[in-house]
Amino acid sequence: HLGMQCGDAKPRARWLGGCVGHRRSGRVVEACARLMHRPDTKLQLRLARLILACEPDAHTLSAVLKSVFKFSKDERNDSSFGTLELLPLLMHRLTAAISAVVGPLTTATARTSDALHSEACFEAALYAAAALKNLSADTDNGRALTKLGAVGAFTHGLKRLLALLRDSSRPATASLPATASLVRSGVDQSLAGRRECRLLLQLTVALRNLAVIG
């Protein structure tokens, strides 16, 4: 169900062929997700690549990005992210998840499913940003991210999140009943603010890493 995803899967990876966009996509995601527990880092990164290039639901996406973040903390895996073409997929998933979190809901009072979806999308954005922060500290990955437009994407994400935080600090009005999308989705306002600040921090450090690399 596209409405319960954190954006679509574009850009498609060249190696994926015709799988994405067909009914097989869901079966690929399901099969890969079942194998993600295998104790093989390279295998898990390949499986994550397949899932990220397909159309997972928000909760599966969040779980996969959490695993990717875990692997990004080990410098020995830095080269694998470039070799497996994970960087453009992570960039797209980050921007799509931020849009899903910051984008306005159609009603002031969202359904519980919308609240859970927003929470999963936020976690996806946070894990993607944290992984990219770690990877941007590597010279080769940092330069690759710069070529992918990461500076502009991170800056745009910061601006949207800062605007959201400013709005969430204002009193509710008839035209703006509850400004922050997570607040409108039933999440406590102070908690939403803290989470957004964590995402801001990840993006800020990633930008600093890219600036250092030049």
Q: What global pTM score does this model have? A: 0.77
* pLDDT of 15 above 60: no
Residues counted in the chain: 214
Determine what percent of the chain is predicted with pLDDT higher than 70: 69
Tokens standing for residue 35 = 């194998």
* pLDDT of 206 above 80: yes
What is the C-alpha separation between 128 and 49, in angstroms, rounded?
13
Output the pLDDT for position 148. 96
pLDDT band at 105 (very low <50, low <70, confident <90, very high): very low
The residue among 121 and 176 whose pLDDT is bigger is: 121
Residue 101 CA to chain centroid, in angstroms? 10
Element at 173 (helix H, strand E): none
pLDDT (average), residues 9-27: 52
Per-residue pLDDT tens for 180-199? 343 434 444 454 557 888 99
What are the angstrom distances between the C-alpha of 146 and each of 49, 141, 151?
20, 9, 6
pLDDT (average), residues 20-38: 68
What are the angstrom distances between the C-alpha of 165 and each of 76, 122, 159, 206?
36, 14, 10, 20
Output the pLDDT for position 169. 63
Report the mean per-residue pLDDT for the chain.
Answer: 77
Output the pLDDT for position 103. 66
Output the pLDDT for position 111. 42
